[in-house]
Amino acid sequence: MAFMRADIWTLEGNQEWHPVTEAYARAVAVMKTRPASDVTSWRFQAAIHASSGGDWRQQCQHNCWFFLSWHRAYLFWFEQIVRAAMKEVDEIDPEVREAWALPYWNYSRGGTYASLPRAFLTEQLPDGAENPLYVRERRQRINNGDALTKEAIATTEAFKAHTFTGFDGGFGGAATGKNHLDQDPAGVAGRLERTPHGSVHNGVGGPGGFMSLFETAGLDPVFWMHHANIDRLWAVWITQGFANPTDDRWLTTEFEFHDEQKQLQRSRAAGVLDTASNLGYTYEDLTVPPAAEEAAAMSRAPRPDHPPELVGATDEPLDLTGRRTSVTFGVESSRGPAAASERAGSERLYLSLDGIEGDRNPGTTYGVYLNLGDDDEPEPHYVGNVSFFGIEKSRDVRSDHPAGHGLRYVFDITDTVAALRGRDRWNPGRVEVTLAPLEEDEPVATAEAVGAPIRVGSVGLYVQ
Ligand code: C2O
């Protein structure tokens, strides 16, 4: 029998505490009573994702092409553990338990759906017991039931990616070895990892909240519903006829997990690609989010096969402290193989933010804009988001591997530049890049993270 992962908002539409949601809450409560040394405990499961501790910790794969396959396996084993924990709760109907699958939070539907499902907002279970799905360490306005910003939940950019990997990270992240960040060049996050993944982490967690940091993200029970949606969006992308990598390094690299019997299990991408036949689950809804339909249908013209060439960059690092900041730099025309593309008018343009360093994620997501100037219509200038979920890991790696180069984000700005040309807002010799926070940031649980500075080593323009 295949399990079906349901939209948690649809479950809630029928009743405030749907049995599937309540069963999850009760299983979380059981897992929370287990000692952290127990591999099936709530804390251990969250710590797999964390950045401190022994061998079993800090396993998670980010800013690289293992992001989607690793998290799919992580969720799958977690789901087995949750279902098994339900056996310890008499109140859970065995039929509910036997059919139970991890619900997903489909904020991609926008509107109310982009606010937290109600079961995560209330402090008590129906019988008055403490609700383990409620976490104080979130952005206040999110815990008040407000929606995430539309930029944070956007799927358009991701669905414009027609390849899994690529110079700008593609849909699923740039090809790297297993430990990604200690390599030169550093890994590049895929578009889905950047937005909505990273921006939803920050949107829920904010400065100092659980969801903003590697070491605490998995402690917020909504982390798992967020990742179920990211996993679903991967499956949706595949329904559009796009393909996963066929490279053996991606398919066969193994990652270790524990099952509900505490037995060691190994998972690799090749064993998780078809959720129904490999892992026994499907999603209730695999349609493209309405806002991304056009993106998915866009021209699938292949990219030029010569490498992109750097044609301009800042000389100074850029410090981000929670306010709008701009830099300007000069751009030259290509001297390499991209010159022919330029002559033919078929060149692709990329904006790259390199060598991003910081001690912890400030929880702020920045919109990135080209030649914004004083235009009060930001929309045509907008190229995407940067959030710094996972920045702690780049620091950890850097301390043992002096060659580490921090995080890197690359945006395909070809369409934005074409639109700006049409509005007479593009100067091929000079570029202005603006980073502006998506929303006002209020400190959440601790003041520590507020204003945690992020340094962007350089901003550059590439032509291909
Ligand atoms: Cu490994 Cu959203 O996190």
The pLDDT mean for the chain works out to: 90
Residue 218 CA: nearest ligand 1 atom is: 3
Lowest mean pLDDT across 56-70, 123-137, 424-438: 56-70
Q: What is the pLDDT of residues 41-88, one digit of tens each?
A: 999 999 888 644 445 545 678 888 999 999 999 999 999 999 999 999
Strand partners, 266: 256
pLDDT one-digit tens code per residue, 144-177: 999 999 999 999 999 999 999 999 999 999 987 7
Q: What is the pLDDT of residues 255-290, one digit of tens each?
A: 999 999 999 999 999 999 999 999 999 999 999 999
Q: Is 138 in the pocket of ligand 1 (CB under 6 A)?
A: no
Backbone φ, ψ for residue 92 (5° rounding): -85, 125
Distance 76 CA to ligand 1 centre (A): 14
Quick: pLDDT tens for 190-199. 999 999 999 9
Helix/strand/coil (H/E/C) assignment for every residue in 359-373: CCCCCCCEEEEECCC
Residue 251 has pLDDT above 60, yes or no: yes
Q: Where residue 224 falls among pLDDT bands split at 50, 70, 90? A: very high
Q: How far apart are CA 186 and CA 394, in angstroms?
A: 9
Q: What is the pLDDT of residue 302?
A: 77
- How much is the pLDDT for 397? 43
pTM for the whole structure: 0.94
Distance from residue 139's CA to the centre of ligand 1 (Å): 18
Q: Is the pLDDT of residue 38 over 50?
A: yes
The pLDDT of residue 442 is 62
For β-strands 281-283 and 3-5, DSSP reports them as parallel
Q: Is 403 exposed, middle or buried (0-12, 13-18, 19+ CB in 10 A)?
A: exposed
On the question of pLDDT at 404 being above 80, the answer is no
Residue percentage of the chain with pLDDT more than 70: 91
pLDDT digits (tens, 9 = 90+) for 176-186: 776 544 454 56
Query: Cα-atom radius of gyration of the chain, to the nearest Å?
Result: 22
**Is the CB of residue 436 less than 8 Å from the CB of residue 386?**
no
Q: Distance between CA atoms of 215 and 133, rounded to whole angstroms?
A: 18
Paired sense of beta strands 454-463 and 318-320, if any: antiparallel
Q: How far is the CA of 38 from the centre of ligand 1 (A)?
A: 21
What is the whole-number distance in angstroms between the Cα of residue 230 and the centre of ligand 1? 10
- pLDDT of amino acid 447: 47
Average pLDDT over residues 89-117: 97
Which tokens hold the place of 238? 């595949």
pLDDT of residue 394: 65
- Which of 349, 406, 452 is closest to 63 using CA atoms? 406
Q: What's the confidence (pLDDT) of residue 381? A: 98
**Under 8 Å between Cβ of 409 and 194:** yes
Sketch out the chain's domains with CATH numbers.
3-296 (1.10.1280.10), 309-463 (2.60.120)
Alpha carbon of 6 to ligand 1 centroid (Å):
20
Tokens found for residue 456: 């962007």
Atom of ligand 1 nearest to the CA of 49: 1
Phi-psi region of 373 (alpha: psi -120 to 50; beta: other; left: phi over 0): left
Residue tagged 């949107």 (tokens): 203
Q: pLDDT tens across 97-110, in order?
A: 999 999 999 999 99
Say yes or no to pLDDT of 402 above 60: no
Q: For position 391, what pLDDT does the model report?
A: 86
For residue 212, pLDDT beyond 60? yes
298-316 pLDDT per residue, tens:
877 777 889 999 999 999 9
* Terminal Cα distance for the chain, rounded: 48
Would you say the CB of residue 62 lies under 6 angstroms from ligand 1?
A: yes
In this predicted structure, the answer to whether residue 396 has a pLDDT above a threshold of 50 is no
Report whether residue 72 contacts ligand 1, using a CB cutoff of 6 Å: no
Q: What is the pLDDT of residue 179?
A: 54
What's the rounded Cα separation, in Å, for the pair 315 and 216? 36
